[in-house]
Amino acid sequence: MKYDFILIGLTSGGPKALYSIIDKFNESFNIPIIIIQNLPPGFDTIFCQVFQEKAKIPIVIVDKEVKLENKIYLPKSGNLLEIIEKNIIKTQESVDTRQCISYFIKNCVEKRMKPILVFLSGICPKGDPIDGCKLAKENNIPIIVQNIEENPNLILKYETELPSTIIKEECYTFISNLMDIPEKIKELLAQ
């Protein structure tokens, strides 16, 4: 099956998990990676600086229209990301980005895009991305969720975790240990 990109959805607590595996994504994946996270203003630049030190492919902050290539993309803080047409994304300023992950997943479905969705540890902010995950599942979009038994975020261990909510709502395709997620994505890409 042909996939258009990998979408990694993060909430508070997720960046630590992503940092653990960011170096596993390299040019051999040959697919764009989009990271959606509700970042506070100015945090996108810090996020890129820290993650680019470990990443094997370039990280780009999207603040205008961009053609997707074999890179990692992160929308500018305070912006929603949307698909204009196949392989072209752009940001849109928004006062409220609390539903940013579901918003982008719904946009993917509307534009008939086929991403691989990945959700890492973190909190589940008021329904985001559950609505998007339900829609993705209805449209046979694969959803990989981090195994909640191995959460690297000890501070958040007993708070509502994003993966546990997705699992409870039965909005996933695969549950995977954090370090196995890149390999699971490779398996899907090879199908």
Q: What integer pLDDT is reported at residue 127 of this predicted model?
A: 65
Give yes or no for residue 71 having a pLDDT over 60: yes
Cα 90 off chain centre by: 16
Q: What integer pLDDT is reported at residue 43 of this predicted model?
A: 81
Q: How confident is the model at residue 158 (pLDDT cuts 50, 70, 90)?
A: very low
Give yes or no for residue 62 having a pLDDT over 80: yes
Check residues 176 and 14 and name the one with the higher pLDDT: 176
Q: Which domain holds residue 37?
A: 5-190
Q: What is the mean pLDDT of residues 181-187?
A: 96
Q: What integer pLDDT is reported at residue 94 of this predicted model?
A: 77
Q: What integer pLDDT is reported at residue 58 of this predicted model?
A: 96
CATH at residue 25: 3.40.50.180
Per residue in 126-157, pLDDT (tens digit) is 667 889 999 999 999 999 999 877 755 555 55
Rounded Cα distance, 183 and 135, in Å = 25
Rounded Cα distance, 107 and 44, in Å = 22
Q: Is residue 113 packed enough to be buried (19+ CB in 10 Å), middle (13-18) or exposed (0-12)?
A: buried
Find out whether 38 and 11 touch, Cβ atoms under 8 Å. Answer: yes
CA dist 25 → 4, 33, 57, 187 (Å)? 16, 9, 7, 13
Question: What is the model's pTM?
Answer: 0.92
Nearest to 82, CA basis, from 95, 91, 73: 91
- Residue 39 makes CB contacts below 8 A (sequence gap 6+) with 47, 74, 77, 78
Q: What is the mean pLDDT of residues 71-95?
A: 89
Q: Lowest-confidence range among 22-31, 37-46, 101-110, 172-181?
A: 37-46
